[in-house]
Amino acid sequence: MSSVATVHSLWMTAADAPGRIPGPHIEYAQLSPTLIVLGAAVLGILVEAFLPRRSRYHTQLLLSVVALAAAFAAVIGLAAGGFGTSKAHVAAMGAIAVDGPALFLQGTILLVSLVAVFTFAERRLDPASHGKRVDSFAAQAAAVPGGKAEQEAVKAGFTTTEVFPIVLFAVGGMLVFPAANDLLTLFIALEVFSLPLYILCTLARRQRLLSQEAALKYFLLGAFSSAFLLFGIALLYGYAGTVTYAGIAEVVADGAKQIDPALAGTMGNDALLLIGAALVLMGLLFKVGAVPFHMWTPDVYQGAPTPVTGFMAAATKVAAFGALLRLLYVVLPGLRWDWRPVMWGVAIITMLAGAIVAITQTDIKRLLAYSSIAHAGFILAGVLATSEDGISSVLFYLAAYSFVTLGAFAVVTLVRDAGGEATHLSKWAGLGRRSPLVAAVFAVFLLAFAGIPLTSGFAGKFAVFKAAAQSGAGWLVVIGVLSSAIAAFFYIRVIVLMFFSEPKADGPTVAVPSPLTTTAIAIGVAVTVVLGVAPQYFLDLAGQASVFVR
């Protein structure tokens, strides 16, 4: 048959059977958490468009809180309905998994976001501007820093209430990210939560140039890493002929069964698989802030408005580690012997570099940024256990860590001097004498970061190290414990600074927050202590949620 005839037959076949394109089958109820949040985000945009300026703040706050609470209730409902265990399955035509890890992580993200929204809405810390209460966000984001437009916006008492729908969009993306069950959904979810974060980072009310620089860096590097991720997805498609997790896993395990004629040259080529897998992993490692893809972390954490930093440090990490877990456990288990040694290396340099570089930091937000890098290394140690214990320990660690982080950054917003937040460590000297309660609360968070017993940090670290040791990576645990020891130095140094140094005469003051931030910090402390003193119930919960649907 000539090629003309082939082409003709193809045309004719296509013309012959126009068929009905089947409408996708979507299980709306099972996707309800995401849908509620995204719906509320759209509503929030409409609120911005149609409601008068003075009523927007309360409406947006109420809308966000209700949406997040409702979404959390939906998650609980799904879990109670058995979707976390016996009825776990893949919904939305194979795009989204509804299973234990997904529901656990979604629940964590929603709770964290709910608490984060409280800190976003705080309006008592900054001194009132022209008689109007303002929050941490720029009066008018589009105005040039220091320009006339900005001054006018400040004078008019504008506030950026758009942050609430923007956060909701980000949360929507984060909910999908750990549940994504094919590579394209993964990529889209990544972009859906990254773009709002870039915007949020630019919005600081004070030090706007630093904020904008941070956002731009984040955006450029994020785009750069997205390109790697997308290229990796393309290579994996070339290898497997599909982007679904199950499909790729099948090809990895058993080899390609049906060769797609268009991919005849590439399918089953292990080089594509390995390079593609490495590049996709790199994209995710960028999001969790693992070395050597961590460079954005300190700059962005420092520049972004502190409530945004807290939200980002907590929620992004949960979502990104969720996605990483699913990728490694569902798509690439057959490739375990290839990626485990490489990832061990990543985990080791992440733990060590994070802990070591943090020693010489002088800014509390940068210090916490490096601390988050070190913690990413600890979590990676649990991820690499390749066992159910590994999954459950990571789930527990993420839940514990995110509340500690959120609480710690919330405390950072309280310590202020004339220039806004006083983030230089030297200004924290003697804080314990001046404000014992705030200093004590911060000390609790620092002890949790350091992994001292009776805090959630200890229970989490114990769980991941135990899982890692049981998987045979005892030496990884040794390095992890050594890194923890190095890290303990700078956490405890801050405690020493707060309680055993003389306060400076021109030291910062501790602002009295509204009940919103107080609630956020109180929840952080409560979770830290409860997970530290009685972790068993939550470990069991994470244990029940530790099976991925395939």
Partner 1 sequence: MENLIALLVAAPLVGAALLLCGGKRLDRAGHWIGTLLAVASFAVAAVLFADMLGKSAGDRALHQHLFSWIPVGGFRADLAFQLDQLSMTFVLLITGVGSLIHIYSIGYMEHDERRRRFFGYLNLFLAAMLLLVLADNYLLLYVGWEGVGLASYLLIGFWQHKPSAATAAKKAFLVNRVGDVGLSIAIMLMFTTFGTFAFGPVLAATGDTGEGKLTAIGLMLLLAACGKSAQVPLQSWLGDAMEGPTPVSALIHAATMVTAGVYLITRSGAIFNAAPDAQMAVVVVGAVTLLFGAIVGCAKDDIKKALAGSTMSQIGYMILAAGLGPIGYAFAIMHLVTHGFFKAGLFLGAGSVMHGMNDEVDMRRYGGLRRYMPVTFITFGLGYLAIIGFPGLSGFFSKDKIIEAAFAKGGTEGWILGGAALLGAAITAFYMTRVMLMTFFGEKRWDPQEVHPHESPKTMTIPMIVLAVGSVFAGGLFSINDAFVSWLEPVTSFEHGHSPLSATATTTATIVVLLVGAGLAWLMYGRKPVPAVAPRGSLLTRAARRDLLQDDFNHVVLVRGGEHLTRTLVYLDHSLVDGAVNGTAATMGGLSGRLRQLQSGFVRSYAVQMLGGAAVLVAATLLMRGV
Give the integer Cα–Cα distance in Å for 106 and 441.
27
Of 158 and 293, nearer to partner 1 (C-beta) is 293
Q: Which residue lies nearer to partner 1 by CB, 239 or 339?
A: 339
Nearer to partner 1, 90 or 277 (CB): 277
Rounded Cα distance between 296 and 282, Å, is: 14
Please report how close the Cβ of residue 285 comes to partner 1 at its closest, in angstroms. Answer: 8
What does the block give as tokens for 172?
């929507």
Burial of 39 (0-12, 13-18, 19+ CB in 10 A): middle
CB of 309 to partner 1, least distance (A): 17
Shortest distance, CB of residue 296 to partner 1, whole angstroms?
7
Minimum distance, C-beta of residue 459 to partner 1, in the bound complex (Å): 23
CB-based contacts of 448, cutoff 8 Å, min separation 6: 400, 404, 455, 456, 457, 458, 528, 532
Q: How far is the CB of 224 from partner 1 (least distance, A)?
A: 6
Q: Which is nearer to partner 1, 28 or 337 (CB)?
A: 337
Distance CA 287, CA 3 (A): 48
Compute the least distance from the CB of residue 117 to partner 1, in Å.
Answer: 30
- N- to C-terminal Cα separation, the chain: 42
Rounded CA-CA distance 270/258 in Å is: 16
Comparison of 51 and 210: residue with beta carbon closer to partner 1: 210
What tokens does 230 get?
């997308």
Residue 265 CA to residue 238 CA, distance in Å, equals: 9
Q: Smallest distance from the beta carbon of 330 to partner 1, in angstroms? A: 18
Length of the chain as a residue count: 550
Q: Which is nearer to partner 1, 118 or 339 (CB)?
A: 339
CB of 359 to partner 1, least distance (A): 4
With b meaning 16 or more CB within 10 Å and e meaning fewer, what string describes 491-529?
beebbebbbeeebeeebbebbebeebbeebbebbbebbe
Nearer Cβ to partner 1 (292/453): 292
Task: Tell me which residues touch partner 1 (CB under 8 A).
Answer: 216-217, 220-221, 224-225, 228, 270-271, 274-275, 277-279, 281-282, 286, 291-293, 295-296, 298-299, 337-339, 341-342, 345-346, 353, 356-361, 486, 489
| DSSP secondary structure letter of residue 128 | P
In what helix (H) or strand (E) does residue 471 lie, and over which residues does it extend? none
Q: Which is nearer to partner 1, 286 or 538 (CB)?
A: 286
